[in-house]
Amino acid sequence: MIMNLKITALTLLLAGSMGFMSCDDDDSKHSSNLIQQAFETKYPGLTVHEWDYKDGYSVAEFILNGREAEAWFDAQGQWYMTETDYGRDLSQLPQIVQDAFQGSGYTTWTIDDIDMFEYPARQTVYVLDLEQGERDYMLRINADGTIDNGQSQQPETGNVPDGTLNAFTAMYPHATEVEWESKANGYYEATFYQERSKVEAWFKDNEWVMTESGVSYDALPEIVRSAFENSNFADRQIDDINKVERKTAPTLYVFDLNDSDTDLEFTEEGILFENQNTGSGNTPSDPDGTNPDNPYLPDDNPQGGQSENSVENAVQKLYEGARIIEIDREYNKVEVDIVHDNIGKEITFDAQLNWLYTQWDVWTRNLPESIQGYIQSNYAGSRIDDAEYYEMPSGSYYEVEIEQSGDRDRNLWFDAQGNSVSNPFIQ
């Protein structure tokens, strides 16, 4: 994020707090017997310390060869990938990977973290999180020593096309301390200061694509401040707020919350979306991602059958008149943020654009009385942290996250009528 500020919105308005996708202390929620057996087959003799549920996958946390690891399995028990943490020790990587790093152009950067990603049908990938001052970069090196996204980290300005420089100067004639960086897929990023604020602007084919800039809470549009203050996140501390302006998509105000993996994204109309913060458009769990270092850039290389027109058609079949805010492709899925009936919703499709589910935020005070009564009767003294509504081919459900004494979290599921049910993702 670009600027740093500390705000506690509780001083503005008291509201119920809310988390997102926290771990449940009940491992059975996250893994069926089929999935547990699949883990034992893949890693015989190893012990799962905890099961989690992420992006439609059951995730086993365990120790592999003395290192922390996570194994991901789908609902059918098929192994998807394993992520192993190598810390910061480059010397523990295969020599061919070490040699590739030495020739990457990033040897002057500091290694913050190294993870290895293994897959069933493609070669292993090593992902190096790098830092240099306030700048971060995620370098992906394949097991055969090839580099997916390496480039010079600080090219001379002379390498930037004249048309791009002219477009930049026309938009930002008073910019100071301008630095250029070439990116994957033909992008050029300019980092500069304007009116004492740090700004990042992205260009491609000599045209402006996107600008990201820090903004203070007081400078937000009133409708955005009001939406936040009336949300379930109003008592959360805010680390950063960025304004993301895009050529082909709506402007967003992105809130980075302290001690949370969730970013809040508000449209200019105050519509709220929750987004898991991966820190990069190319997430470690999806090393083949095509958005170079920024999740808000357009996807230049959609997979077959996933063009913007085909995604638009799939969305309109489900929610006629919906307005697309953003399209993300991660974990072999397509996630689409839309505004429909004045509600921010996230649709999840598989890679072939088959509808899996749609979810959206529910204010805790709007939960059916039967659900609130059930929680009061069965979990007296607990607090509702989060509530989501899901539409699926099999039906509609509420997921309610509660916090019990001792900071223990539990996720409860209810059908559309408010009856307690098992997790519909694990049958």
The CATH code of the domain that includes 86 is 3.10.450.360
> Is 293 part of a structural domain of the chain?
no
The residue with tokens 């769990």 is 285
Does 125 lie in the same domain as 47? yes
- 173 CB-near residues (< 8 Å, 6+ apart): none
The pair phi, psi for residue 291, each rounded to 5°, is -85, 115
Does 371 lie in the same domain as 352? no
> Is 286 part of a structural domain of the chain?
no
d(CA 238, CA 258): 6
DSSP 325-354: EEEEEETTEEEEEEEETTEEEEEEEETT--
> Is 1 part of a structural domain of the chain?
no
Does 193 lie in the same domain as 98? no
Does 312 lie in the same domain as 246? no
Does 263 lie in the same domain as 161? yes
CA dihedral 214→113→58→393, nearest 10 degrees, is: 30
Please count the CA atoms within 13 angstroms of the CA of 90 that sit on its side-chain side.
Answer: 19
Number of domains in the chain: 4
pLDDT for res 303? 53
Does 236 lie in the same domain as 164? yes
- 7 CB-near residues (< 8 Å, 6+ apart): 217, 237, 238
378-410 exposure pattern, b = at least 16 Cβ within 10 A, e = fewer: ebeebebbbbbbbbeeeeebbbbbbbeeeeebb
Does 271 lie in the same domain as 170? yes
Which one of 259, 276, 293 terminates a domain? Answer: 276
Q: How far is CA 212 from CA 184, 246, 256, in A?
A: 18, 9, 14
Which one of 153, 171, 203 terminates a domain? Answer: 153
Check residues 67 and 194 and name the one with the higher pLDDT: 67
What are the tens digits of pLDDT across the range 16-62?
A: 333 333 334 444 445 678 999 999 999 999 999 999 887 678 899 99
What are the tens digits of pLDDT across the range 156-173?
A: 455 889 999 999 999 998
Stated pTM of the model: 0.55
> Is 285 part of a structural domain of the chain?
no
94-115 exposure pattern, b = at least 16 Cβ within 10 A, e = fewer: eeebeebbeebbbeebebeebb
> Is 301 part of a structural domain of the chain?
no
Does 221 lie in the same domain as 163? yes
The residue with tokens 């009856």 is 419
Please count the CA atoms within 13 angstroms of the CA of 3 that sit on its side-chain side.
Answer: 21
> Is 426 part of a structural domain of the chain?
no
Can you tell me whether residue 179 is helix, strand or coil? strand
> Is 335 part of a structural domain of the chain?
yes
d(CA 106, CA 87): 18
Which one of 101, 122, 153 terminates a domain? Answer: 153
Residue 420 scores a pLDDT above 60? yes
Which candidate, 49, 15, 29, 54, places its Cα nearest to that of 283?
54
Q: If you average pLDDT over every residue of the chain, what do you get?
A: 82
Q: What is the mean pLDDT of residues 237-256?
A: 91
Domain range for 316 is 308-361
Amino acid letter, 386: D
Residue 12 scores a pLDDT above 80? no
Does 345 lie in the same domain as 398? no
Residue 1 scores a pLDDT above 80? no
Does 269 lie in the same domain as 165? yes
d(CA 268, CA 266): 7
Does 252 lie in the same domain as 183? yes
Residue 269 scores a pLDDT above 90? yes
> Is 283 part of a structural domain of the chain?
no
Measure the N-to-C terminal CA separation of the chain; round to a whole number of Å.
39
d(CA 260, CA 20): 8
Does 13 lie in the same domain as 160? yes
Residue 302 scores a pLDDT above 60? no
